[in-house]
Structure 1
């Protein structure tokens, strides 16, 4: 197995301790990436045959391997901590204690109940203590955890907890606004509704002025 970074280990261990890690098998299955890709393509081919699709058709013949590569390298790449983003920290020598907010982080995830798209955006904020994180890293951490079969409630808590652990501060807030295509494209087929989840920790939870500032900046 490929070694993962110190930050990835901290993040994974924190989620495991709090019961917030995705439900995966505890033991490593020993399937390497290339073998996994071939196995997924094999079973996708069988599914297409069961659906009575002509898998020899020019438009369909490469679909199984396309789906396999998409699962492995793109939409489920967050299942593998070797893909955890490289994190850049800056020592807070300027003693900044003002709120830092990153708005409109675009997220694309997959509903773990139906394997269909969840799409939306996040606003994430923190009040720094000893560390400041490179701004793009906040986006990358959020996107890493979205690239899994997910439920929105867990995704919200995962991003919040990982940022608290890596930044060594409780003062983290996050709001997710997501469209669920398992609601839009099937079942109720409600194309207008969105789902909002939030996690307010530290000062964002205990101090009304901090909380109000966060929501003001989120809605400007």
Structure 2
């Protein structure tokens, strides 16, 4: 059985202490993956029948199963801290103290108000202290918190706060540009608008030259 890692525990407790964790009951519940899928499948069958869809149709009969697998294995997998990415941290023996930036991180999330897609990209930077993180782990952390019903504002702060805790550095920055299909595909149906959020800490917040370097550095 997969255990929750110490890094996952640190991330969870840090977010809870700052009031930034998603409205979840716990970092892991005791319902098995198989049972979760069965429960979701049954609920989806009821929803589809209410919508007057014929589940005997070849195209539709496996849709409840597909949705249950998608929810648990893919788009909502970030609700379970047992899925938190394995984190690789190395001692900063080379004493690297300049900015490290990962640009154009692809993110796919779900609006928690309408359960419809949010997609976009993030740029994330940090200035190391004692530890350096494997570059792909920044992407994986961002994607873990994206794979939940989310608000972009919360997601932006979650990623930064968790990186600060894991890296033991104050100097982290993130900017995120996202397309919300709850705006594009329903309601106002504005197909061209997008939403940007940012969050800065340490020198990225207090020093305008450092912040400008983050925006301009390629």
Whether TM exceeds 0.5 here: the answer is yes
Displacement of 1:208 after TM fit? 1.2
Q: Aligned with 1:153: secondary structure?
A: helix
Whether the 8 Å CA contact 2:85–2:140 is kept in 1: the answer is: yes
Cα distance change, pair 26–137 in 1 and its aligned pair in 2 (3 A): closer
Q: Which residue does 1:83 correspond to in 2?
A: 83
Q: Which residue does 2:108 correspond to in 1?
A: 108
Partners of 1:29 and 1:106 in 2: how far apart? 28
Task: Detail structure 1 runs of 4+ shifted over 3 Å in the superposition.
Answer: 26-30
Q: Does 1:124 align with 2:124?
A: yes
Structure 1: any 5+ residue segments left out of the alignment?
none
Q: Which residue does 1:165 correspond to in 2?
A: 165
Give matches, 1:132-143, under 5 Å: 132-143=132-143
Partners of 2:42 and 2:115 in 1: how far apart? 18
Partners of 1:25 and 1:213 in 2: how far apart? 40
Whether the 8 Å CA contact 2:171–2:204 is kept in 1: the answer is: yes
Displacement of 1:24 after TM fit? 1.2
Listed one character per residue, the Cα deviations across residues 63-121 of structure 1 (whole Å, up to 9, x for unaligned) are 00100000000000000001000000111011111100000000000000000000000
Q: Aligned with 2:107: secondary structure?
A: strand
Structure 2: any 5+ residue segments left out of the alignment?
none
Q: Which residue does 2:37 correspond to in 1?
A: 37
Q: Which residue does 1:7 correspond to in 2?
A: 7
Listed one character per residue, the Cα deviations across residues 15-55 of structure 1 (whole Å, up to 9, x for unaligned) are 00001000012596532110010000000000000000011
Q: Does 1:148 align with 2:161?
A: no
Partners of 2:79 and 2:27 in 1: how far apart? 14
Q: Does 1:92 align with 2:92?
A: yes
Q: TM-score, normalised by structure 1?
A: 0.97
Q: Which residue does 2:185 correspond to in 1?
A: 185
* Number of residue-to-residue matches in the alignment: 218
Q: TM-score, normalised by structure 2?
A: 0.97
Q: Aligned with 2:173: secondary structure?
A: strand
The CA RMSD over aligned residues, in Å, is: 1.2
Cα distance change, pair 167–28 in 1 and its aligned pair in 2 (3 A): closer
Partners of 2:15 and 2:107 in 1: how far apart? 20
Partners of 1:146 and 1:13 in 2: how far apart? 18
Q: Aligned with 2:12: secondary structure?
A: helix
Q: Aligned with 2:122: secondary structure?
A: strand
